[in-house]
Amino acid sequence: MYFEKHVFVCENLRQGGRECCAEKKSVELRGVLKRRAKEVLREAGLKRRIRINGAACLDRCEEGPVAVVYPEGHWFRLRDADEIERFATSYLKDGDLSAVEDLRLSDLHPTERPRG
Ligand code: FES
């Protein structure tokens, strides 16, 4: 696999109508994430192949700012620098998904979720 983890952060900006991630500061948050992920991995002496890219709308606008990580297909809402720090340290560096459980969104598409 080319990247161990490939993170896409929605940076979509929409004028009027449905809300969007860019109006919730996702562009700035992606910048913070890129910088902190690089620092955290370097400080730990890890050479992980982790890529963090901006993305257009991921169609979860009301849940944003959203990010998705492949190959796992895990979805997150990352709202501020503290959440970014925990995501970079606990998840990207340590691989501890349980430490970021409160930041997660459902990984299932609404059509796949159990009805109840
Ligand atoms: S604007 Fe971010 S998911 Fe649609």
78 lines ligand 1 (CB under 6 A): no
Please check whether residue 71 lies inside any domain of the structure. Answer: yes
What is the CA(46)–ligand 1 centre distance, in A? Answer: 31
pTM, two decimal places: 0.94
Q: Which atom of ligand 1 is nearest to the CA of 65?
A: 2
Give the domain CATH number at 59. 3.40.30.10
Is residue 68 within 8 Å of 75, Cβ to Cβ? Answer: yes
Please check whether residue 50 lies inside any domain of the structure. Answer: yes
What confidence tens digit (pLDDT) does each residue in 14-49 have?
998 899 999 999 999 999 999 999 999 999 998 889
Please check whether residue 74 lies inside any domain of the structure. Answer: yes
89 lines ligand 1 (CB under 6 A): no
Structural domain boundaries enclosing 74: 5-108
Please check whether residue 116 lies inside any domain of the structure. Answer: no
Write down the pLDDT at residue 27: 98
Q: pLDDT-derived band of residue 97, with 50, 70 and 90 as boundaries? A: very high
What is the rounded CA–CA span in Å between residue 102 and residue 41?
23
Total domains present in the chain:
1
State the first-to-last Cα distance of the chain, in angstroms, to the nearest integer. Answer: 37
